[in-house]
Amino acid sequence: MDEILKKLLDAINDAYDKTEGYIVYDLLKACALVMADYDIKLEKIQRLFDVDNMTGSTLETYVYQRKGIERNEATYAVGTLTVTGSGTVNEGDLFETASGVQFKAIETKTIDGTGSISIQAVVAGSIGNVPANHITQIPVTLSGITSVANPQPTYDGFEAESDDSLRDRYYIAVRTPATSANVYHYLQWTKETAGVGDAKIFSLEQGDNTVEIVIINADKQPASQTLVDTVQEYIDPNSEGLGNGQAAIGAFCYVLAATGVPINVSVNIVKDSNYTDEQVQTNIEYNIIEYLKNIAFKQSYVSYAAISNAIFDAEGVQDFSTLSVNGGTSNILIGDKEVATLGDVVIA
């Protein structure tokens, strides 16, 4: 405001008294106050000309208007429930964990003794990814059904696409135009599928007129078969090359999940006494996972030094020694169709 006021005063002829407290000064100060507010708003508007500064609905509108790209919505975790008893489970019947995460049956099936049903989380997002044997409660009694449990973890519950991911897809569309089913077109089609975190395209990998797509999920982990099937159905159903998906007639597309390469870590640490062993373990694992996410499908090796930094930067760690990564002290190579995943973390 002071800068604006000075400019206004300088624009007034010195024949007028511009001393503070006199009418010229007071009138121009009032104008400067109003103009300063508009100046701030104008600066914000100018910043929004740069897509890197856009977030939320503003970013969504911008990329949709220019490239027709829409944010991928959150997905619902799915899984299988083992049901015991003699009765019928109807589509929509509810089950839940002890903490109240609810799932619904997505099929109707009669159970005689023991059977399995397919379930889906009621709420979209990662909250629906629960460990094995956690879905054990029936909030509304089902006649003849005595118990339930999920023998395997539920999976494929992902949050809505982040601003960074949406912006990245926009830049791909701008900088690497997708035309005539080129490599970038396959990359675009693949990343349009909710739950896909990244993809690699391999031309002619399985012979003439073939395209192989290797994908990881939104958590930068090997994709589930369900996610693989979804992408396959969207681009080239059953890999038949009939043009029933996005791919052109005669292009045989094969979608595969990246192979996970476990990164096992063993380290001796000096722990801050304000943290429990469990807290330090969690913090170290979190930092390593974040590092592995950042390099997934972007770097051909896991850096021993970066793992060291992830451990040292973890809250509760004062120092460490004798770090072993996959049994050694060197970088771990990651193949073109592989992705690094966190294995065992042993802390002494």
Give the residue-averaged pLDDT of 137-144.
Answer: 96
The reply to whether 168 falls in a domain is no
Select from 257, 290, 319 the last residue of a domain. 257
Residue 154 lies in a domain: no
% of residues, the chain, pLDDT over 70: 97
Q: Are 183 and 249 found together in one domain?
A: yes
Q: What is d(CA 215, CA 195) in angstroms, rounded to the nearest whole number?
A: 10
Shared domain check, 145 and 95: yes
In this structure, the answer to whether residues 44 and 114 fall within a common structural domain is no
Residue 347 structure tokens: 């802390």
More confident position, 77 or 174: 77
Same domain, 54 and 89: no
Position of tokens 């509810």? 94
pLDDT surpassing 90 at residue 44: no
Whether 157 is in a domain gets the answer: no
State mean pLDDT over 194-201: 96
209 lies in some domain: yes
Residues 87-130: pLDDT tens digits?
999 999 999 999 999 999 999 999 999 999 999 999 999 999 99
Count of domains forming the chain: 4
pLDDT of residue 240: 96
265 with 341, same domain: the answer is yes
In a domain, 305, yes or no: yes
**Same domain flag for 232 and 191:** yes
pLDDT tens-digit readout, 235-291 = 999 999 999 999 999 999 999 999 999 999 999 999 999 999 999 999 999 999 999
Examine the pLDDT at 37 and tell me if it is beyond 80.
Answer: no
| Inside any domain, residue 170 | no
CB–CB of 119/155 below 8 Å?
no
Q: Which of 219, 237, 257 is the last residue of a domain?
A: 257
The answer to whether residues 140 and 185 belong to one domain is no
State the pLDDT confidence band at 22, using cuts at 50, 70 and 90: low
Residues 144 and 187 in one domain: no
Provide the terminal-to-terminal Cα distance of the chain, rounded to the nearest Å.
59
Using pLDDT thresholds of 50, 70 and 90, give the confidence band for residue 201. Answer: very high
- pLDDT score recorded for residue 292: 98
98 to 19, 75, 101, 140, 284: CA distances (angstroms): 73, 22, 8, 14, 28
Mean pLDDT over 226-239 rounds to 98
Same domain, 50 and 92: no
Residues 277, 336: one domain? Answer: yes
Q: Which residue has the higher pLDDT, 5 or 265?
A: 265
Share of the chain above pLDDT 90, in %: 82
Write down the pLDDT at residue 45.
67
Range of the domain at 21: 2-67
Last residue of a domain, one of 199, 225, 257: 257
Residue 72 lies in a domain: no
Asked if the model's pLDDT at residue 50 lies above 90, the reply is no
Q: Is residue 171 part of a domain?
A: no
Cα gap 108→96, rounded to integer Å? 18
Give the model's pLDDT for residue 47: 66
C-alpha 333, offset from chain centre: 24
User: What's the pTM value of the predicted model, to 2 decimals?
Assistant: 0.81
Q: Give residue 200's identity as a one-letter amino acid code.
A: K
In this structure, the answer to whether residues 240 and 276 fall within a common structural domain is no
Query: Where does residue 336 rank: exposed (0-12), middle (13-18), buried (19+ CB within 10 A)?
Result: exposed
pLDDT of residue 327: 96
Residue 252 and residue 264 in one domain: no
pLDDT of residue 177: 82
